[in-house]
Copies of this chain bind each other. A is one copy, B any other.
Amino acid sequence: MTRSTLFLVAALVSSATALWPQPQSISTGSNALKISPSFHITLSGIKNAPKDLLDAISETKDNIANDKLERLVVGRGAVDAEAVAKSAELKELVVSLEHDGKIRSISEEAVDAIENRVEGYSLTVPEDGSAATLKANSTLGLYRGLTTFQQLWYFWDGKVYLVDAPVEIQDSPKYPYRGLMLDTARNYFPVEDIKRTLDAMSLVKINTFHWHVVDSQSFPLQVPGFMELSEKGAYSPSSVYTPKDVKDIVAYAAARGIDVIAEIDTPGHTSVIAKAFPEHIACNEKTPWATYANEPPAGQLRLASDATVKFTANLIEAASSLFLSKFFSTGGDEVKQSCYQDDEETQQQLNASGKTVETALNDFMKATHEALHKNGKTAVVWQEMVLEHKIELRNDTVIFVWISSTDVKAVAEAGFRLVHAASDYFYLDCGGGGWVGDFPSGNSWCDPFKTWQKAYSFDPTANLTESESKLVLGGQQLLWTEQSGPQNLDSIVWPRAASSAEVFWSGIGGSISQALPRLHELGFRLNQRGVRAIHLQPLWCALRPGVCDLTA
């Protein structure tokens, strides 16, 4: 038996252990080990285990039995058959919680993970068939460890096995926020698509679903007290998320270690509100749209109207109450002055109050954030609120940096916690052609396509001082859905969105060449679980790590 460090493993492109994200520390041997028919997972010293932990254990057993992932080597599992035939059998994984006091559920910890770092775990799988062990000081840490445990196994000829026992892993995330953003307003996604996406996210230890739930084009979210918005603004009576759907999604996510940060973008991106409340929207569907908005239809909340400010604060409060998360985004991107300049009501309101658009915007944001704060929530906003409008934000506000990664420095200098979400690295929708009509030669504004390699090469603290670096909560990839729907959700997101998941879990420094074989395996495993992740290379290459490298 040989042992290897993280670095030795990384250098062996044909390593059999294909975890994603890469653990902070891993050592592996070279012995086969197979799952016993009597394999079971036992809890040690955990009284009254939370239901979601028991469910996760049950799901772990199911996944190990059902993944049936053939190892990506020439000859597939057949090359391992002999070693597996004479290997020891693993009969037990012992799961223990190293924590005194009240045991919280995975779900409780998931909505707290960004500010309380409780995702670490340690995992050992001996080569001799004696019990494997998983230890953590939180149920969320145990969940992460169970996910890792699931990724250790291959299938061939009725056997579930690995070939590099013993395995020892010590793991915890470098950054507390690893996210994925989905826009469900440009086109609608049924609940089942979101749940499938959450399953995939949990496999790569993404812990935040940033849900851009409504926008100018449609308002699928049913908000109690504001039902007219979805009644008149959803694409159809069935293209909605009911409070029950939201509860279902939030619970499904939380049980998988994922917090759901919803967003109601304001004061821009709100044309659809005019269908139910025309009095609150300036420049609604005004043309030419390009004068008044970055995309059709135009329309912004009348930020200088007291009634509109109150309406918005109440809406944000009611919407945020649907979610367990401690965070909620009020957007704040792409506010166009031209919309207000040409809106008579807004001009009158500004004149009457002696405000400018900028001071009105400041008051507007303060009001909605105050409503959030009273509701026990922390505000999240897009970068313009800090960099362009210099809004007086609460110190705890979290900033999404989207326009460019070069804007990160300025946000950090302003002293705010931030999430990397920059279009030049993390936008999953770029490169698919311009979507506005009558634009024959148009490609996407954020061309080219952002490859997994591009996202993977991101340095989260580039150009930041040590103290600025501490403001980086993590990062995420994002799917804006002007040209997406359930049809291409899986194929445009996976496995690409796993890139940032590893950057913000494992930290910078991964080699593209050494990551690719692991990413292939992740993609194949996702497919085994019904997520239609695309191939990154011909199978011929996937079976031969490194052989299709540029200079091979």
By a beta-carbon cutoff of 8 Å, the part of chain A in contact with chain B is: 76, 185-188, 216-218, 235-236, 287-290, 295-297, 431-444, 447-449, 451-454, 456-457, 481-488, 490-492, 512-513, 516, 527, 532-541, 546-552
Contacts and interface: CB of A to CB of B under 8 A. Distances in A.
A451 to B, nearest CB: 3
B296 A541 contact: yes
A217 B432 contact: no
A551 B217 contact: no
Given A487-B535, A541-B296, A443 B449 contact: yes
8 interchain residue pairs of minimum CB distance: A433-B451, A217-B540, A488-B491, A438-B549, A438-B513, A437-B549, A487-B532, A186-B538
Given A296-B547, A483-B536, A453 B435 contact: no
Given A217-B539, A538-B186, A548 B296 contact: yes
Given A217-B538, A217-B540, 16 more contacts: A76-B236, A186-B539, A217-B539, A217-B541, A288-B551, A289-B548, A296-B547, A437-B513, A437-B552, A440-B456, A442-B550, A481-B535, A483-B535, A484-B534, A485-B534, A487-B535
B437 A449 contact: no
Contacts of A435: 536-538, 541, 548
28 contacts: A186-B539, A186-B540, A216-B540, A217-B538, A217-B539, A218-B539, A235-B539, A290-B550, A296-B548, A296-B552, A433-B452, A437-B513, A437-B546, A438-B512, A438-B516, A438-B551, A438-B552, A440-B512, A442-B550, A443-B449, A443-B451, A482-B537, A483-B534, A483-B536, A484-B534, A487-B490, A487-B534, A488-B491
Contacts of A453: 433, 439-442
Contacts of A551: 288, 290, 438
A12 to B, nearest CB: 15
B449 A433 contact: yes
A534 B433 CA distance: 13
Nearest to A215: B538
Contacts of A454: 433, 440-441
Contacts of A439: 453, 512, 549-550
Given A296-B548, A548-B296, A537 B437 contact: yes
Given A457-B440, A538-B186, A540-B218, A434 B448 contact: no
